[in-house]
Chain A
C-alpha cells in the first residue's frame, strides 16, 4: 500500500511567487516523522525540512514551511519567494516506527520548474 502520495507530477511557478507542493501520508503509528528533500539534476538529496508527528507548530526553515494537517494526514511543503535555483525534484518522505530508525518511505516526487 502506498504510504506517501504526491499527486503533482510537475508544477510551474513564477519566480518570486510562492508554491505549495502536496503530500499526503498513510500510517497507523502515533509517532512518525515527515521529511521533504530536494533533488537537483546532480542527484544529491538535500534535506529541507522535518516535522514530527507530535510537533504542535508547523516546521519552518527559511523560505520553506511545512503545512502539517494531522487530521487530514497531509504535510504540504510551501516554498515562498521562489528562485530559479529551486527548480528540482522534490520528495516527501515518512519515517514510521522509531525502532526502524530512519528507514524512509518516499513519495513519487514532484518536479518543480521556476519560470523567470
Chain B
C-alpha cells in the first residue's frame, strides 16, 4: 500500500530556533498534502493544505509566517516552524493524497513530536 514517510519523528529545540519537518510520499505522487496539529488526547486540527507547485492554503487562525509550508515536488512537502516557542510544542502529522481514485485511503505520516524548550 501507499507509504508516507515523515521525519523527524521527534525533535527538541530551543526557543527562537526554526525546525523543519519533512513529509514524503514514497511510492506515489502526492498532488496534495495536508498538515495537521494535535495536542495531547485531542483531535487533529488541519493547519494547511499544500498543493505541488503552488502556495499552501492555510486554515483560519493559522499563522502562515510562523508555519511555512513548501511543496516543491510531487513527493515532498515540508513544514517549517519558524522562531519556535514553547506554545508551538505539539504533535504534527502530515497526510498525502494521490489521484482521485485513491481517495478512499488517505495515508498519514507517522507524525513529529516537537518540544520547544
Contacts and interface: CB of A to CB of B under 8 A. Distances in A.
Contacts of B78: none
Interface stretch (B39-47, B60-68, B80-88): B39-47
A108 interface: yes
A108 B113 CA distance: 19
B110 A104 contact: no
A45 B105 contact: no
A104 B49 CA distance: 11
A45 B43 contact: no
Interface of A: 33, 35, 37, 42-45, 47, 50, 52, 89, 91, 95, 98, 100-109, 111
B58 interface: no
A16 B32 CA distance: 39
Interface stretch (B14-22, B69-77, B91-99): B91-99
